[in-house]
Amino acid sequence: MKFEHPAGLNPIDRLTVVGRPVDRIDGPLKTTGTALYAHERHDVAPNQAYGVVVGAAIARGRVETIDVRAARAAPGVLAVVTTLDVPRLGRGRMNYAYLFGGAEIQHYHQAIAVVVAETFEQARAAAALIRADYTPEQGRFDLAAEAGHAPLHGDGDEPVHRVGDFETAFAAAPVTLDRTYTTPDQSHVMIEPHATVAVWDGDRLTLWTSNQMIAWSKKAVADILGMPAEKVRVVSPYVGGGFGGKLFVRADAVLAALGAKAAGRPVRVALTRPLVINNTTHRPATIQRIRIGAERDGRITAIAHESTSGNLPDGSPETAVAQTKLLYAGAARMIAMRLARLDLPEGNAMRAPGEAPGMMALEIAIDEMAEALGLDPVEFRIRNDTQVDPAHPGRPFSYRDLVGCLRLGAERFGWSARDPKPASVRDGRWLIGLGVAAGFRNNLLTKSSARVELDRHGVVTVSTDMTDIGTGSYTIIAQTAAEMLGVGLEKVVVRLGDSDFPASAGSGGQWGANNATAGVYAACVRLRDAVARKLGLNATDIDFADGEVMSGDRRVPLGEAAGEGLSAEDGIEYGSLAKDYQQSTFAGHFVEVAVDAHTGETRLRRMLAVCSAGRILNPKSARSQVIGAMTMGAGAALMEKLSVDTRRGFFVNHDLAGYEVPVHADIPHQEVIFLDEADPISSPMKAKGVGELGLCGVGAAIANAIYNATGVRVRDYPITLDTYLDRLPRPA
């Protein structure tokens, strides 16, 4: 169905099931270990063998020979496939790196072989016996060294986005700011590594894999392996985290398929943590220059944001400037990105790509500008709010309440008690500071479909290839079907993550919840029509509630109406809606930190996020998403950094001992508030997404709080104590 606004009478608006804080229906399966993840699928095929991937020991060059004689002779080995055995394979949808095949090495730990054996231990031992000879080439691994001559990279058709005359307006502004900020390379480090079980049945391939986007991956596997898409099936009912690192097909899937073909057996492959970090994708580092000009009353008149990041040839930049086009008013604007060619592992999507690192810089700059103007940083943000797209004044936001987020957040957090003078508040040996930042993430509209079946027992079964990456997709999809068809959640069965099901939006970009449930809504509308036709009723005159179909005085149990069963399939499409309205989500992030005056140790005491994100489909799972994102933002601010060996071109700290991440126990108090709103233009669900909004801006709020606590401004992430220890005020 094509969604048009206004949508008219909408059964979702009853909110008897949707909008309720329902427990995750997959929770009992996950807590009892009965929700099987990709590498645990012993049940899908008998006689499975194990594959171990071998990565390249150079970052750029060629592999000349690979000696596999000792590996093939090792106990239990069934097959060895090397990159020299097959021609270079395709890259698949949106991949920038070649995953396998051919002699060219693009990056460190690029896969050069897979060893298949009866047991994992045998495969691992045999993989260690492989010897490869390389011809290394000089690579480029240092973003700072390459940034000065990195070419502009266009966003669409324009290499530089301009509105008005920035240079003139900036030069004329009474108060100006010109600062440079940096963010490092970061890794997704999801709990479940990339893993796949591959099974061939003649010329048909089935992959039980850990992947966020089933339809994308089905086509990508077909393209990479050069086979018809209809002969590929991808199954991923449970995903143990992805954060964008599993949007695309990676080496585990490709090499499991090749290994299974060579061994004549089903093969399971899981990437080791070093391969997850160096073989798969990561968030690229950025160097960002921000310039702001304003009148003395705080009105921004000129704003420019330029970002440089690196990637492989044919890769794309980290779009860290995207939010600056939309977040604040300002008549004169200039936005630009540069892309340096680097021979590091592939840079690609990581939770809130673009906005997450972009807000880390922009929201420090906004605080610095507020200080230069002598304004409270909350008030400065409010004065520069806008209800229209600044670059297209005729295009309004579908719904925007950033001001409401900031005002409510300031009230609930006790912002009025903040001392604006840095390093003024102490609690014993601790320096105390409060920080704020706006949050912003666009709302993306994506076609999504589902199939809904009704049986004679009144049980509703929903099938869609949507995935659940720990976000609660099973639950909100069940809530949608229950609301639309008037049944309890116990009467709904949800089947996800199978390419044999109708193609959904998939999980990523914060678009999954709104679009996937809208696709289920569309299928339910069609099923309601089918029920009405079968009963000889007008679809506009019936209601579904309490397991019955009702029209006037007539009441028919839903199972009876189904007869031997009914099925309907449909999807949601949005037409020009995304062009007619700017759709975005907003937040106010508030943080309290304590910094040890002697050691520089930083502790997070309190965090608050106030979110404006349309209708919240399930407040319990949405809160879980936001506090997880806030914790991830704390990691980005204080500890997460992939350290680059700029001589040999790889990430040195490629395990969870060297790449540190925070946990919820590091933060004593986290609070989330959702504004009570519905965006009727976003979809028939009137929802948006929050999974990435909770991350965008958090890092800057922490940085601003550290400045308020210490008087030391750090513009390079992560803010580790060595970056400011020598500048702390002397302890009393």
Rounded distance, CA 714 to CA 706, Å? 9
* Alpha helical stretches, state H, 232-374: 251-263, 273-278, 355-373
Instruction: Give tens-digit pLDDT for 21-47.
Output: 999 999 999 999 999 999 999 999 999
For the chain, give the number of residues: 732
Token digits for 443? 């709302």
Question: What does DSSP assign to residue 547?
Answer: T
Neighbours of 133 (CB within 10 A): 10
From 254, 253, 260, 256, select the one nearest 203 (Cα to Cα). 260
Per the CB < 8 A criterion, the answer to whether 76 and 117 are in contact is yes
Among the listed residues 721, 695, 699, 698, the one whose alpha carbon sits nearest the alpha carbon of residue 710: 721
Tell me the pLDDT tens digit for each residue of 549-570.
999 999 999 999 999 999 999 9
Is the distance from CB of 377 to CB of 386 less than 8 angstroms? Answer: no
Q: Count Cβ atoms within 10 A of the Cβ of residue 668 and give its class: 0-12 exposed, 13-18 middle, 19 or more buried.
A: exposed
- Could you tell me the fold of the domain covering 39-137+188-278? Aldehyde Oxidoreductase; domain 4 (3.30.365)
In whole angstroms, what is the distance from residue 321 CA to residue 327 CA?
Answer: 11
> Residues in the chain with pLDDT < 50?
none
User: Nearest CA to 110 among 659, 646, 652, 650?
Assistant: 650
Q: Are 312 and 96 in contact (CB under 8 A)?
A: yes
User: Which residues on neighbouring strands pair with residue 131, listed in sequence order?
Assistant: 67
DSSP of 494-542, one letter per residue? EE-SBTTSPP---S-TT-HHHHHHHHHHHHHHHHHHHHHHHHT--GGG-
**Alpha carbons 495 and 518: distance in angstroms, whole number:** 16
- Structural tokens at position 600: 């520089």
d(CA 657, CA 417): 39
Sequence-separated (6 or more) residues with CB below 8 Å from residue 14: 483
CA distance 112 to 82: 6
Closest CA to 509 of 251, 212, 276: 212
Q: Are the C-beta atoms of residues 304 and 335 closer than 8 Å to each other?
A: yes
| Secondary-structure percent of the chain, ordered helix, strand, coil, rounded to 5 | 30, 30, 45
* pLDDT score recorded for residue 93: 80
CATH number belonging to the domain at 394-443+580-727, selected among 3.90.78.10, 3.30.365.10, 3.30.460.30, 3.40.50.300: 3.30.365.10
Residue with tokens 């946990």: 663
Q: Is residue 291 within 8 Å of 664, Cβ to Cβ?
A: no
Determine if the peptide bond prior to 718 is cis (ω within 30°): yes
The answer to whether 242 and 210 have CB atoms below 8 angstroms apart is: yes
Q: Give the CA distances from residue 109 to residues 60, 133, 210, 279, in Å, rounded to whole numbers and listed in that order.
A: 10, 14, 20, 5
The closest of 75, 84, 86 to 129, measured between CA atoms, is 75
CA atoms within 13 A on the CB side of 54: 27
d(CA 254, CA 456): 42
Is the pTM higher than 0.95? yes
Domain boundaries, the chain: 11-35+446-573, 39-137+188-278, 394-443+580-727
Query: Does the annotation mark 306 as catalytic?
Result: no
What is the Cα 400 distance to its own chain's centre? Answer: 22
Do the domains 394-443+580-727 and 11-35+446-573 match in fold?
Answer: yes
Beta strands 267-270 and 49-55, pairing class: parallel
What Rg do the C-alpha atoms of the chain give, in angstroms?
27
Tokens of 522: 């569309």
Per DSSP, the three-state class of 407 is helix
pLDDT of residue 313: 92
Beta-carbon contacts of residue 553 (< 8 Å; ≥ 6 apart):
none
Residue with tokens 């909408």: 10
Instruction: Give the model's pLDDT for residue 730.
Output: 82
Sign of CA dihedral 472, 478, 481, 483: negative
Contacts of 573 (CB under 8 A, 6+ apart): 1, 2, 3, 447
Whole-number pLDDT of residue 8: 65
Per-residue tokens: 248:
């695309």
Residue 632: partners with Cβ closer than 8 Å, 6 or more residues away: 243, 351, 661, 662, 695, 698
Q: Identify the CATH assignment for 11-35+446-573 out of 3.90.230.10, 3.30.365.10, 1.10.3720.10, 3.50.50.60.
A: 3.30.365.10
Q: What is the CA angle 116-118-123, rounded to 5? A: 45
List beta partners, residue 67: 131
Name the 3-class secondary structure at 98. Answer: coil
Chain-centre distance of CA 283, in angstroms? 11
Asked whether 604 and 631 are in contact (CB, 8 A), the reply is no
Q: Could you tell me which of 182, 146, 363, 143 has the C-alpha nearest to residue 287?
A: 182
